[in-house]
Amino acid sequence: MFKRLPGDEARNLVTTTPDTAVVFRPAVLKTPALVTLIIYGWRFLIALVRTLWRHPVASAVPVALGSLYAWHGWPLAVSVLGFVVLVLLAWAFLTRDSFARLVGWRLLAWWRLMSVYRRHWQAVMDVSGLARRINSRAYMPRLVKVQCDGWADRITVRMLDGQAVKDWTDRTDNLAQGFDAVSCRVALVKGGRLLLTFPRSDPLASPIPALPIPDEPSVGPVEIGKQEDGQPLKLKVHGTHVLIAGATGAGKGSFLWDTVRGLLPAMQAGLAEIWALDPKLMELSFGRELFQGRYASDPADCANLLDDAVSVMQKRAARFAGLQRSHTPTVEDPFVLVLVDEVAFLTAYQPDKQLRNRISAALATLATQGRSVGVGVMAALQDPRKEVMNIRNLFPDKIALRLDESEQVDMVLGDGARDRGALADHISPVPELGAGVAYMRLETSPEPVRVRAAYVSDDDIRAMVATFTTRGEAA
């Protein structure tokens, strides 16, 4: 941009040659060569110190080999290099876990940093619109560090001043495509810093067979499957309420039966009871003997069973008042889990208005007052809309399996869950690929976690019934 002349005289300038335009040339200030050398030398020194600080091991290796070569010749340098390589290989074969934790993942992180992220960083930031240019000066978000593990790359990023997390969550598709990843998830670490997660593999790609029944009685957390990072998925059921939402065939039954399977030893020991409501007559009825008579399918019977649960809750609250604030399972006061399959049939689609109001009131009472006295609710439904399930916010822990619409993700997991990577509407409808895959958001963490529940087959349920009833009769 040309600087305006005083008095706006630029428009009054004329030329004696009409065919020649007036050309303004900026003044050129010649910098002395010594100043230029000092500036470049200072920049090189800063870059060298930064490299040594960020990559001490990668910098020490060539320095050490170069020193050995300079002082003792190439045979010793090659011998030392070969010895170190053999030691690392032996370490990797003998104790793979410790090698991966201390060496392997760090080497992979350095390689991914240099070959992928730093190489494409500027281009991806520019194209995605996360970089800014002000007065011809470029401002770029800073790549702080890269960490790797068995399934994903985790990138710590320093945002530009004035940027918001939403600026990044709106561009997760751009980031994933730019760095050749399947998906990208954004999480706020602290003020100004983000953690970008780029999965490299998918441990949940294959169905998980039914997990073994625990040996020791416990009311949870119950192991029901696997998390995306390969760690066991343990679901808390005692001291909370769980809402499960998913389309038909998404695998809601896997979460229900895995929970029952994990609580079987506690049920046999008298420390837990499961009260089942099965209005569809197709899921929980297959193992109704496990519930010891606390099973209902008719809407009127479901309402009565819920009223009984409310009565148990209120009696416990009266006894616990002033004595204890949390529940410890005992034979006298076992943990009661109210299991409801397709709760929307009872709360929204039930034609009997009086019955519908009874059921809704009982569920709301249990959801607001039950967990402190050892009465929990686990409810499954297909349609998560507010008019279908108006008490969904009373469930601290929520699970979203495959959903039909992107808006339903936030309905189940809360506002902004889909922007943070909970793509429940993208889960495959093919049973082998997507059945039981879900995003879980717990009360203790706002970040959704991708998980997969183990598949409990009909034969597994028959074996559970046979084992439970045989031990019950023997007792």
Reported pTM: 0.77
Mean pLDDT of the chain: 86
The average pLDDT across 14-38 equals 70
Q: What is the pLDDT of residues 321-376, one digit of tens each?
A: 888 888 889 999 999 999 999 898 888 888 888 999 999 999 999 999 998 999 99
212, two tokens: 């073994």
- Report yes or no: 302 and 294 within 8 Å, Cβ to Cβ: no
Answer for the pair 232, 367: CB distance below 8 angstroms, yes or no. no
Q: Determine the pLDDT at residue 474.
A: 46
Q: At what angle do helices 458-474 and 252-268 cross, to 10 degrees?
A: 10
Q: Which CA distances in Å does 333 have to 292, 316, 320, 327, 469?
A: 17, 8, 11, 9, 22
Q: How far, CA to CA in Å, does 187 sit from each of 377, 432, 449? A: 30, 30, 12
Rounded to whole angstroms, what are the CA distances from 247 to 333, 375, 398, 411?
36, 27, 15, 14
**Region 126-131 average pLDDT:** 91
Q: Dump pLDDT digits (tens) for 253-275.
A: 999 999 999 999 999 999 999 99
pLDDT at 16: 60
Question: pLDDT class for 388, splitting at 50, 70, 90?
Answer: confident
Q: Is residue 15's pLDDT more than 80?
A: no
Residue ranges for the known binding site are 246-253
Closest CA to 235 of 213, 259, 256, 252: 259
Classify residue 279 as exposed, middle or buried by CB count within 10 Å of its CB (0-12, 13-18, 19+): buried
- Binding positions for ATP are 246-253
What per-residue confidence (pLDDT) applies to 226? 94
Could you tell me if 197 and 421 are in contact, meaning their C-beta atoms sit under 8 angstroms apart? yes
Taking residues 394-422, report their average pLDDT. Answer: 89
